[in-house]
Amino acid sequence: MGYYQPCPEFDECNRLINEYFETKQYEKCFQGHLPLAKKGYPLAECQVGYFYYDGLGVKKDAEKAFYWTKRAAEHGDRDGQFNLACFYEEGIGTGIDMEAAKAWYIKAAEQNHDLAIRKCKELKIYTD
The confidence score (pLDDT) of residue 35 equals: 98
Tens digits of per-residue pLDDT, 22-65?
999 999 999 999 999 999 999 999 999 999 999 999 999 999 99
DSSP string computed for 17-65: IIIIITTT-HHHHHHHHHHHHHTT-HHHHHHHHHHHHHTSSS---HHHH
The confidence score (pLDDT) of residue 12 equals: 97
The confidence score (pLDDT) of residue 1 equals: 38
Q: Is the pLDDT of residue 127 over 80?
A: no
Q: What DSSP character marks residue 94?
A: S
Category of 103 on φ-ψ map: left (φ > 0), alpha (ψ -120 to 50) or beta:
alpha
Average pLDDT value for residue range 103-126: 94
CB 123 within 8 A of CB 102: yes
Q: Please, what are the domains in the chain?
A: 8-122 (1.25.40.10)
Residue whose C-alpha is closest to residue 83's, from 32, 37, 49:
49
Give the containing element (helix H, strand E) for 83: helix 78-90
The confidence score (pLDDT) of residue 31 equals: 98
The confidence score (pLDDT) of residue 105 equals: 97
